[in-house]
Structure 1
């Protein structure tokens, strides 16, 4: 957690230098929950949550890419208010302030997470839906196969 805290601080210092203003430091959480999300920024609670599994998997990449990605969300909100999460303002902060590519997704391995999934079928194949999508189906959502365009139903 010490390295993540240090990198968050470095990002905020770069942002303060660039924007000529100070920023409140967020609460930091290192989560061990099984999740596909490498990090998240909670704007209303001014909190950054980082996934310990992905940090342990590739610590240098995590510090260089994921930490600035999440800090950029908070800085963007503080400077510009409510804007698109990965819009032009956020991209500007990633590229011009943090000198990072404005990537919106990660490529960490999900294999070891062993996330739960549910089998659904269409007319052409079997699909694995995440717990989140399965729960949405239970609440009335419907999904279609991208290949045959037929609705998915639980096996």
Structure 2
């Protein structure tokens, strides 16, 4: 909460506003460290990853999610990690604008399915894997933009 309050105070001073404190909920599951819920003005944090990466949460995750909420309040609906978010992170909050974390995820990975693109392996949750199997959606790599495809097991 201290990280949230300090960053919110810094933003309010810089922006000349008095944005309220968002609600923090410790119910984020899976491999996401946190998410910002715009309409309910809340930040959801992954309690397992928080316990394992406390300093990184204070320095990066909380400001990252707060920046999403502040951008929404200040600019309206814009690209999630676009120029407004980068400006809010770097110029206002003074935090490097990184889109993803590099936490060890073994403790939060349950049943995941390996998928590939041209640049790396991805782990899709059961829910996302089933959506792909049913043909409801496709997922793309945020780095290379290529469609993710199920990784085939090696032949024995």
Identify the match of residue 61 of structure 2 among 57, 66, 78.
66
The alignment's C-alpha RMSD in Å is: 2.7
Is the 2:25–2:43 contact (alpha carbons within 8 Å) kept by the matching residues of 1?
Answer: yes
In the aligned structure 2, how far is the partner of 1:86 from the partner of 1:119?
26
In the aligned structure 1, how far is the partner of 2:15 from the partner of 2:100?
26
Deviations 1:29-86 (A, max 9, x none): 012x541100100001111101111111121111000000000001101111111000
In the aligned structure 1, how far is the partner of 2:29 from the partner of 2:110?
7
Larger helix fraction of residues: 1
Shift in alpha-carbon separation, 1:114–1:83, aligned structure 2, 3 A: closer
Instruction: State the partner residue of 1:24.
Output: 20
In the aligned structure 1, how far is the partner of 2:114 from the partner of 2:34?
27
Shift in alpha-carbon separation, 1:128–1:11, aligned structure 2, 3 A: closer
Matched, 1:88 2:83: yes
Q: Which consecutive aligned stretches of 4+ in structure 1 deviate over 6 angstroms post-superposition? A: none
Identify the match of residue 135 of structure 1 among 124, 130, 143.
130
Instruction: State the partner residue of 1:49.
Output: 44
Deviation at 1:9, TM superposition (A): 1.1
In the aligned structure 2, how far is the partner of 1:128 from the partner of 1:9?
34
Structure label with greater radius of gyration: 1
Deviation at 1:133, TM superposition (A): 2.4
Deviations 1:2-49 (A, max 9, x none): xxx121111110110000011022111012x54110010000111110
Structure 2 unaligned spans of 5+: 116-121, 142-146
Q: TM-score, normalised by structure 1?
A: 0.79
Instruction: State the partner residue of 1:123.
Output: none
- SS at 2:135 equivalent: coil
